[in-house]
Amino acid sequence: MEFLKTAVLPEWWDESCNSNQELLCEVEFRIARFLGTSMDVVRSPDIPLQAYGAANARLRKVHNIDSDRIAPAIHAALGVGAASLRTLRSPDSPVSLPPSDPIKWREQLCKANATVNLEVMLDDLWHRGIPVLPAETLPAPSFQGLAGIIKGRPIIVLGHRHDIPGRAAFTIAHEVCHIVFRDCQEGQPVVDEEDDVADTSAIELRADEYARAFFAGKAELPTIQATSFKELAQLAFDFEERSGVEASFVIFDWARRTGDFQNAMMAIKALYRGHGARRMLRDKFDQFVEVGEASESDRALLSCIYGGFSGDEDSV
C-alpha cells in the first residue's frame, strides 16, 4: 500500500478518498498507466493484472521467492528508471561504459582521487550517463540490485535500503559488470535478489570478481581469521592502512566469502563506516535529475526516490 500511495495515487489522496466511488475511474486510469495496459484490462474481473515490464527479467541470487511475487518491484523499478532518464538535466549526453577490466577503471579514477570509494564511483557513473537510483519505496518483496537498459541507456536501481557505503558500493560495482558485459538487454534486466545467497552461475561469479578487483586493484585481499567483530574491524583497518583498500569493503567481502554478515555489520559500525550511502546516492540523484521539470506521472514515480531519507536501514 505504501508504494501505491507514493507512486500511483495522486498527491491529494487521503483516507477519506478510499470509500469515494466517484474516484474509482481515477484509480483505474492510474493503475492502467502504471502497468502499461488498458482500462478494460484493469476493469475486467477475469483478467489478472500483471507487471509486464518484469516478464523477461533474469533473476539471480534468488532465495525462496516466486518470480511472480517479485515482478511488481521489478516493473516499478524500471518505471522509476525510465522516469529518471526522461528528466535528466542533460538528457542527450552520451553514454560511456566503464572498462571491462575493473583494474583499468580503478586506475582511471585513482588518477584524480586518493582512494576509490562509493562517492568517487557514483560521480564517475553519473558522468558516464549511468544513473544509480536508490529506490526508497518499491512493492514488497523487493530486490538487492537491478541492472537494466531502457531505450539504449543503462540504469542501476538499488532496491534494499542499505546505508553502509561499502555494502552499497560492492552491489553497484556488481551491477556495473552486468552492464559492461551486456548480461542485461533492453526489456531483460538482471535482478539480484539477495547478496548473501550463493549463486555459482558464470555471470554472478564474474560480477563478484569484477567488484572485488575494482575496489582492491592489484592488492590481494587478506584471508582474515577473526574470532570477534572487533578483531575483524582491526584487521580490516590495518589492511586499509597498508594497501589503501577501504576497510568496509574488505569486511563486506569477508562477509560474502564466509556468510557471516552479522559480525561484518558490527565490525563496520565499530569503524564508524556504517552510515552515509543513502545520502550520497540521493545527493547525486539531485545533482543530475531535474524533478521540477517532470510530468505529474513521472513525479509520482520519482517520489519513490526523493520521497524521503530514513537513515540506516541495514539488516543482516
Average pLDDT over residues 66-74: 80
What digits encode the pLDDT tens for the residues 232-290? 999 999 999 988 888 988 998 888 788 898 999 999 999 999 899 999 999 999 999 99
Which of residues 68 and 65 earns the better pLDDT score? 68
Mode of pairing for the β-strands spanning 58-60 and 153-158: unpaired
Please tell me the predicted confidence (pLDDT) of residue 97: 97
C-alpha to C-alpha distance for 250 and 266, rounded to whole angstroms: 14
* pLDDT tens readout for residues 168-184: 999 999 999 999 999 99
What is the reported pTM?
0.83
* Residue 7, pLDDT above cutoff 70: no
DSSP letter for 53, please.
G
- The reported pLDDT for the residue numbered 62 is 64
Q: Which pLDDT value is given to residue 134?
A: 93
pLDDT reading at 133 higher than 90: yes
Residue 187's φ and ψ, nearest 5 degrees, are 75, 5
Give the C-alpha separation, 79 to 70, whole Å. Answer: 15
pLDDT in the model for residue 118: 92
pLDDT band at 4; cut points 50, 70, 90: low
CA distance 69 to 141: 7
Parse the chain into domains and list their residue ranges: 1-49, 51-221+274-290
Per-residue pLDDT, 174 = 94
| Residue indicated by cell numbers 521540477 | 292
pLDDT in tens, 276-307: 999 999 999 999 999 888 888 888 888 888 66
Question: What is the CA 277 to chain-centroid distance, rounded?
Answer: 11
Percent pLDDT > 70 in the chain is 79
Q: What is the pLDDT of residues 81-118, one digit of tens each?
A: 999 999 999 988 899 999 999 999 999 998 776 678 89
Find the helix packing angle between 165-180 and 118-127, rounded to 10°: 30
- Cell numbers for 112, please give them: 584524480
